[in-house]
Amino acid sequence: MSHAAEQGYFTEENSAEVVVSRNAQAQDARLRQVMEVLVRHLHAAVKEIEPTQEEWLKAILFLTETGHTCTDWRQEYILLSDVLGVSMLVDAINNRKPTGASESTVLGPFHVEGAPERALGDDICLDQKGEAMLVRGRILDIRGNPIPGAKIDVWQANDEGFYDVQQKGLQPDFNLRGVFRSNEAGEYWFKGVRPKFYPIPDDGPVGRLLGALGRHPYRPAHLHYIIEAEGFETLVTHIFDPDDPYIHSDAVFGVKESLMATFDRVEDPARIEEFGFDGPFYDVEYDFVLNPR
């Protein structure tokens, strides 16, 4: 460390060293480590960018407005983390899995506790709007053995791209939500409607930032899952429609190639009758592999 840094004198050249040295007495070792890394990278970024005073004030006002936009039901800072790819990076770091195990992705803001437990084969679409869909598959371990009794919490947006909590009074409560249990063969199946892409909230500072960057706010069509089973790590993930127009440009970077499902349109009258539909439907089949705890 330079003599100036040892004396605590701050210069453009040793700015990070001085700040890090002042923080060295922090009692919490993890806090000390985190702040050292943040200070070094932040100071390096400022030196590379060389912002004007006006630009730095604009950045501070952006963060201030982001905080003011947060409410009990909206977290604009999480949205900022999402669109910068940080949420997915933290998820990836905390969910490293062995080859063969299903990959995770972000939870999203629209999960609701207490969704009703339903029988296998039930329809989670309570208002019967949209194109009918059958979702089915198996819950397996790494070796391909079935996992019976796994809890499968599912939820999705409707055919207009809205969750029930976004349309109180327009959609029934717990529309397109349900909890299922895999059978002895590890199988699960339920009915829903083909989901649609939708925008993340873009009427605040994060949305304006996306616009300024020439980016759209859309997430491609997907279904959400939380899968739990005794002796296994909980899996929080989606499955995606590979034909969605935004599949390669998800605003929050949540798409992974391994999470692509196939949405096959079924028009054969015999199969329509076999699965209990009134007309054509989409058949979506996807197996999940859980990692042992």
Look at residue 4 and tell me whether its pLDDT is greater than 70. no
The pLDDT value recorded for residue 108 is 84
Give the side-chain half-sphere CA count within 13 A for 211: 10
The pLDDT value recorded for residue 193 is 97
* Per-residue pLDDT band at 143 (split at 50, 70, 90): very high
The pLDDT value recorded for residue 183 is 98
Look at residue 73 and tell me whether its pLDDT is greater than 90. no
Look at residue 72 and tell me whether its pLDDT is greater than 90. no
The pLDDT value recorded for residue 6 is 56
Interval 22-39 mean pLDDT: 97
Sorted by where each starts, the structural domains of the chain and their CATH numbers stand as 3-50 (no CATH), 86-289 (2.60.130.10)
Look at residue 1 and tell me whether its pLDDT is greater than 80. no
Q: What is the pTM assigned to this prediction?
A: 0.88
Interval 220-233 mean pLDDT: 97
Identify the DSSP state of 73: S
Give me the count of residues in the chain. 293
Look at residue 174 and tell me whether its pLDDT is greater than 80. yes
Residue with tokens 């004396």: 7
Interval 117-123 mean pLDDT: 97
Supply angle C-alpha 190, 193, 199, rounded to 5: 125
The rounded mean pLDDT for the chain is: 95
Look at residue 76 and tell me whether its pLDDT is greater than 70. yes
Look at residue 220 and tell me whether its pLDDT is greater than 80. yes
Residues forming beta bridges with residue 219, ordered by sequence position: 198
Look at residue 2 and tell me whether its pLDDT is greater than 70. no
pLDDT tens across 240-258, in order? 999 999 999 999 999 999 9
Interval 147-165 mean pLDDT: 95
* Per-residue pLDDT band at 3 (split at 50, 70, 90): low
Phi-psi sector, 74: left (phi>0), alpha (psi -120 to 50), beta: beta
Q: How far apart are CA 224 and CA 232, in angstroms?
A: 19
Phi, psi of 218 (to 5 degrees): -90, 145
Phi, psi of 288 (to 5 degrees): -115, 135
* Per-residue pLDDT band at 214 (split at 50, 70, 90): very high
